[in-house]
């Protein structure tokens, strides 16, 4: 399995080329700056890799989320505007009720884009939906 860590972006992100998957296991605080940083990377990958890829974000190791409604609106508008590929899936894993709620708001705001976002509280459910090995999603 070829997995390459991202040297210029958060070390918690990995591309699994053979699976067509990006995994991200952020730690600490998720704020607008960190969210923009991972979006910069995803957009760069989309521009350089002709193959579409699914995404998995595991928010369970976060200390908190500091995104307001304007941040969420900006992030989702940016994604909807910049992504021009085929339909892809983004699975978000969140145990904390507040994190789950914020992720649900993101999913709702992404409804009209070709990026289908779903939020899960079980990694097994996310793995089934993405049709990916649970071991790949669980590896941080």
CATH of residue 97's domain is 3.30.750.24
Tens digits of per-residue pLDDT, 20-63? Answer: 999 999 999 999 999 999 999 999 888 888 889 999 999 999 99
118 vs 41, higher pLDDT: 118
The DSSP symbol for 12 reads T
What percent of the chain lies above the pLDDT cut of 90?
Answer: 78
CB atoms within 10 A of CB 78: 15
What percent of the chain lies above the pLDDT cut of 70?
Answer: 92
The C-alpha atoms of residue 6 and residue 13 are separated, in whole angstroms, by 6
Instruction: Give how many domains the chain has, as a whole number.
Output: 1
Give me the domain span that covers residue 86.
3-138
């Amino acid at each position: 399995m070829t997995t390459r860590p991202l040297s210029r972006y958060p070390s918690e992100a990995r591309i699994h080329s053979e699976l067509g998957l990006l995994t991200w296991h952020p730690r600490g605080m998720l704020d607008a700056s960190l969210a923009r940083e991972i979006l910069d990377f995803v957009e760069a990958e989309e521009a350089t890799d002709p193959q579409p890829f699914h995404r998995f974000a595991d928010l369970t190791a976060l200390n908190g989320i500091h995104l307001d409604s304007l941040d969420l609106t900006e992030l989702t508008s940016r994604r909807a505007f910049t992504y021009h590929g085929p339909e892809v899936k983004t699975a978000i894993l969140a145990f904390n009720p507040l994190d789950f709620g914020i992720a649900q708001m993101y999913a709702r705001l992404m409804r009209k884009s070709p990026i289908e976002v779903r939020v899960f509280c079980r990694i097994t459910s996310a793995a089934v939906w993405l049709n990916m090995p649970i071991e790949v999603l669980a590896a941080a």
